[in-house]
Structure 1
Amino acid sequence: MAVPDDELIVLLTEDGQPTGTAPKLASHHGDTPLHAAFSSYVFDASGRFLLTRRALSKKTWPGVWTNSCCGHPAPGESAVAAVRRRLAYELGLHVEIDEIVPLLPDFRYRAELDGIVENEICPVFGVRVNSEPVPNPDEVEEYRWVSWPVADRAGLSPWSLLQLDELEGHPAITTLLPTGEARR
């Protein structure tokens, strides 16, 4: 189940206003325009975090370990709706809107690897699930549940490293952990 070649991303001005759309695959290159994205961090009932490794066939950051799921809202789609859509597509996880918690609504980053640039305004969400993922091999090479906060960050995607720095100790994370389990 591959992503359609004609998937569109939403282009943004420097202040985050939509300015149009562009084909996703053709837009990620050495001069990637600023565009809308999202990242999500999935937690289970035990408070473990779902770490995923991007499929080796991915154009950007193939085989790199990263947050649970990330992607791009379609034109006219909210970030929360995109989180739900991509969690179902990438990980077979079906979540309700009230299971999605905004964590870093204004997160923005730029990263480069092998001539491919990510340039995104990328709100970060937390998600609580009660089921095991069923990864789509076109998107996810493998996954593992890890303790929170993430101690071993070696080899993680650049956006995950930046996000983890801001998420550690974030008060909204406690809403995703088991009751009474306060972490650093």
Structure 2
Amino acid sequence: MTELVVLLDPDGAAIGTADKAQVHHAATPLHLAFSCYLVDDDGRLLMTRRAAHKRTFPGVWTNSFCGHPGPGEPLDEAVRRRGRQELGLDVGSVRLVLPGFRYRAEQGGVVEHEMCPVFVATATGDPAPDPAEVDDVRAVPWATLHDGAREGSWPELSPWCVEQVAQLAVHGDPARWPTGDPAALPPAARLSD
């Protein structure tokens, strides 16, 4: 089955769809995505290392998981779906924290170009990662991630994770990250508009 991503104009309005398997290349169009940070029962963040054979940023450590909502799919539902697919976890208490996050990054000639709202959520139990997506999972305190991203001492972190951590740093521990304003989401993500 073809997985579609939502293509965006510069203001975040939907302008069509594309096959996810073919959208990432040297001239990747702007599209809708999301990032999620999972907090475990001990208050630690689950960090993942992307599978070594992924097309974009293989073998790079990043937030818990990322994904693309399908056309018409609410972001919170996409977050829950992707948490089950990628980490085998039921995701709860999904909360928007960076509604307007966007980035463009390149590695090895392949570009990521996304409007990528960021969420924090809870997860219980042990992850069962899909090896097609994830090579490793590590639970770390916020300070470990924050300091590693700021000092560059964490083993290679995704550029979007580094930018997200910098924006969230002013709020401290994930329990204190403020809830973002849904009105600041890209228009394509505000399905009730």
Q: Shorter-chain TM-score category?
A: 0.7 to 0.9
Q: Name the SS for the 2:170 alignment partner.
A: coil
Deviations 1:10-59 (A, max 9, x none): 00111111111001121101111000000000111211110100011211
Matches of 1:171 and 1:14, distance apart in 2? 31
Aligned residue for 1:60? Answer: 56
Deviations 1:135-156 (A, max 9, x none): 1111100111011131223310
Q: Using structure 1 for the length normalisation, give the TM-score.
A: 0.88
> What is the aligned length?
170
SS of equivalent to 2:53: coil
The AA in structure 2 aligned to 1:147 is: P
Unaligned runs of 5+ in 2: 178-193
Q: 1:48 to 1:172 in 2, by over 3 A?
A: closer
Q: Shift in Å at residue 95 of structure 1? A: 2.2
Q: TM-score, normalised by structure 2?
A: 0.84
Q: CA RMSD in A?
A: 1.5
- Cα distance between partner residues in 2 of 1:171 and 1:80: 23
Distance 1:148 1:172 in 2: 6
Partner residue of 1:22?
18
Match of 1:148 in 2: 142
* Counterpart Cα distance in 2 of 1:102 and 1:115: 31
User: Residues 20 and 68 from structure 1, CA distance in 2 versus in 1: closer, same or farther, beyond 3 angstroms?
Assistant: same
Q: Among 109, 117, 128, which residue is 2:111 paired with?
A: 117
Structure 1 residues 171 and 144, CA, compared in 2 at 3 Å: closer, same or farther?
closer
Cα–Cα, structure 1 residues 169 and 46, in superposed 2: closer, same or farther, change >3 Å? Answer: farther
Query: Residues 103 and 173 of structure 1 are in contact (CA less than 8 Å); yes or no, is this contact kept in structure 2?
Result: no
Q: Could you say if the C-alpha distance between residues 13 and 159 of structure 1 is closer, same or farther in structure 2, counting changes exceeding 3 Å?
A: same
AA paired with 2:40? D
List gaps (5 residues or longer) in structure 1. Answer: 177-184
Partner in structure 2 of residue 70 of structure 1 = 66
Matches within 5 A, 1:1-184: 6-96=2-92, 99-149=93-143, 150=145, 151-153=147-149, 154=154, 155-170=156-171, 173-175=174-176
Give the fraction of aligned pairs with identical amino acids, expressed as a percent. 51
Q: Paired residue for 2:180?
A: none
